[in-house]
Structure 1
């Protein structure tokens, strides 16, 4: 039994049980989550584009199953350990978006390919393709391979169209590998707050992607799959019509970084915040300040401070006060024990700090879902 289930299992189904949770605690609004999943699935289906959401956001078998039930063809995983965790939960159609290069990891990947239907992995160097080819058993299912194209951030990916062709030819020489297509993820553009600025940046990068695809096609390696995009650029990428599938992730939760972006160039927000951190006031002895039990250890800090969404007035602000503590600064007269609800500044690494999602409907705890791939970063 998990510690979260030990502490809170008896609260499941009890009216108003959210208020009885030990804090800090990661809370997930089930109805908002399902609306977000349905909204993205509808957008992709309307353009006949496949949806392969990124599990690095939620690391959850339960959420992956909901996405597949809504029409997703599989899930993306940033790390091999995430893919193993989802495969253990019966999730298929997995795609690894980062290269797998070390001998022990390649051995694990080869084993996973034998038990996970539709597994694919990116490569960006011929030497990596060669090692993968020799690790896969000749009588096993051929491993699907996708060429990673660098969009200009120099993190991973081939550096030119010529390099993409060289890599495709290497893959084609090996009967244990199956060339499937290309990946192009513009991570640096996802959080450009202005829609116009983000669209201009993506249009520029998409033109480069088109040139690489044209060169591959002329060389006899037309990609069957063109995968990429993200929550920040999904509408733009659907309009541009190059991707055959979307790797969107954070749309299921939304966080401060994405809520600060104009995703659609329209007044309405396409997705709702569904992920929250509930905390409690533990000290309120100063004028205009109260201390809560959520600090650096309760959320990722690379996205700035969280936004207070409940428990204090709109003018109240949060500041970090240390590993275990935060402060609510504002006009409210908070008292010890008051609940203060925060949004996550950056959802992906925040989720990785917790063992479980406490799933609520209204103020009632309805379930506890494990963060299935928490810590599976190898």
Structure 2
């Protein structure tokens, strides 16, 4: 059941009408339906060919509709970064959810236990014995809660800090009758956007060697993990080659923002995925030579990775500059006039998506659907 959104109210009557893309109020978050579908199919095929479980990360899209498309293509479930994301997706009928960040507070653990009773399959990571004990208490009286040992890949964000701690925590999970030891998580987030493939591969190989020492220690303690989950869009080819991970947590492949488009994902080969996530903006002022103002500024794009790329609607040499909360400048010699549409790519998809209430799903120049950003703002 879709919640009512401003986008639905503004644009619902445009669905299916020829030329409806050009009638959207701007800025509008655009999803290219055909490029998106090809991206989903390509990653699903990649996972099947390499014998890998596919559990895409919903933090990239926060959308029940996109989750359904991924499940239909063969994914076993979805990853969620936050408990609120999982709750929002579960309310839309999405199951097989894995929380990739620890939940440690009493209110959060109570919500987690309640969610575990509402859906068929829920798992979570932990990196501290006290949290494992609290999860075990909360899970009593319900189905066993699946808990993964989160292993620090070296950035000290979350995760146990040594093979010995991994063994101790896995044993603690396994010893609680209300918990089920699911395996280990190892996500090398810091390495995903290294642009050069050889450099990224070397970094992932070094970290995977460390993961292998943890897995050897667990195996020696009769705690060999059934699932080793992790990886991402930037490392999926390397992870498949190394053969240590059994499950992929890829996320941004469905959209291909500028961060990932700038990376060589396949060792010099053709780009495996297409840019599918766009923002359409409108020219609202054209009074200065060599510059037009569009209605998409700091509130339209994540700013942590620089400005968006201009993909259509202005000259090839045009460039974008942030001009304030609501406005952006497009600068160049060959610019459109007032009221024209300019299409931009997203610099960083995850936080850009969180700025909008819906995706406008486009095929050609036709609006075919409006998909709510189901878990928008669910950061707790």
TM range (shorter): over 0.9
Aligned pair 1:144/2:138, yes or no? Answer: no
Q: CA RMSD in A?
A: 0.7
In structure 1, C-alpha distance between the alignment counterparts of 2:297 and 2:151, rounded to whole Å: 38
In structure 2, C-alpha distance between the alignment counterparts of 1:296 and 1:147, rounded to whole Å: 38
TM-score normalised per structure 1: 0.99
2:108 to 97, 100, 105: 105
Which SS does the other structure have where 1:290 is aligned? strand
In the alignment, what sits opposite 1:264? 266
1:2 to 5, 14, 32: 5
In structure 1, C-alpha distance between the alignment counterparts of 2:300 and 2:149, rounded to whole Å: 37
After superposition, the C-alpha distances for 1:227-260 in whole angstroms (9 at most, x for unaligned) are 0000000000001011111000000001010001
After superposition, the C-alpha distances for 1:184-230 in whole angstroms (9 at most, x for unaligned) are 00000000000000000000000000000000110111000100000
In structure 2, C-alpha distance between the alignment counterparts of 1:323 and 1:352, rounded to whole Å: 16
In the alignment, what sits opposite 2:117? 114
1:302 to 304, 324, 338: 304
In the alignment, what sits opposite 1:288? 290
Q: Using the TM superposition, give the Cα deviation of residue 333 of structure 1 relative to its aligned residue in structure 2, in angstroms.
A: 3.4
Which SS does the other structure have where 1:114 is aligned? helix
In structure 2, C-alpha distance between the alignment counterparts of 1:178 and 1:14, rounded to whole Å: 51
In the alignment, what sits opposite 1:373? 375
In structure 2, C-alpha distance between the alignment counterparts of 1:288 and 1:225, rounded to whole Å: 56
1:154 to 138, 153, 156: 156
In structure 2, C-alpha distance between the alignment counterparts of 1:173 and 1:71, rounded to whole Å: 33
In the alignment, what sits opposite 2:15? 12
In structure 2, C-alpha distance between the alignment counterparts of 1:51 and 1:137, rounded to whole Å: 30
Aligned pair 1:319/2:321, yes or no? Answer: yes
Which SS does the other structure have where 2:42 is aligned? helix
Structure 1 runs not aligned, ≥5 long: none
Structure 2 runs not aligned, ≥5 long: none
In structure 2, C-alpha distance between the alignment counterparts of 1:117 and 1:243, rounded to whole Å: 24
2:185 to 183, 186, 189: 183
TM-score normalised per structure 2: 0.98
| 8 Å Cα contact 2:315-2:335 kept in structure 1 | no
1:40 to 43, 65, 88: 43
In structure 2, C-alpha distance between the alignment counterparts of 1:158 and 1:263, rounded to whole Å: 29
Stretches of 4+ aligned residues off by more than 2 angstroms: none
In the alignment, what sits opposite 2:54? 51
Q: Map of 1:57-68 to 2, 5 A cutoff? A: 57-68=60-71
| 8 Å Cα contact 2:126-2:150 kept in structure 1 | yes
Aligned pair 1:128/2:144, yes or no? Answer: no
Q: Using the TM superposition, give the Cα deviation of residue 137 of structure 1 relative to its aligned residue in structure 2, in angstroms.
A: 2.5
In the alignment, what sits opposite 2:170? 168
Aligned pair 1:22/2:25, yes or no? Answer: yes
After superposition, the C-alpha distances for 1:300-347 in whole angstroms (9 at most, x for unaligned) are 001110000000122110010111111111111321101000000000
In the alignment, what sits opposite 1:73? 76
In structure 2, C-alpha distance between the alignment counterparts of 1:6 and 1:118, rounded to whole Å: 35
Which SS does the other structure have where 1:294 is aligned? coil
1:202 to 197, 201, 204: 204
Aligned pair 1:239/2:241, yes or no? Answer: yes
1:335 to 329, 334, 337: 337
Q: Using the TM superposition, give the Cα deviation of residue 6 of structure 1 relative to its aligned residue in structure 2, in angstroms.
A: 1.1
Which SS does the other structure have where 2:325 is aligned? coil
After superposition, the C-alpha distances for 1:54-96 in whole angstroms (9 at most, x for unaligned) are 0000000000000000000000000000001111111111000
Which SS does the other structure have where 1:64 is aligned? helix
In structure 2, C-alpha distance between the alignment counterparts of 1:284 and 1:206, rounded to whole Å: 53
Number of matched pairs:
377
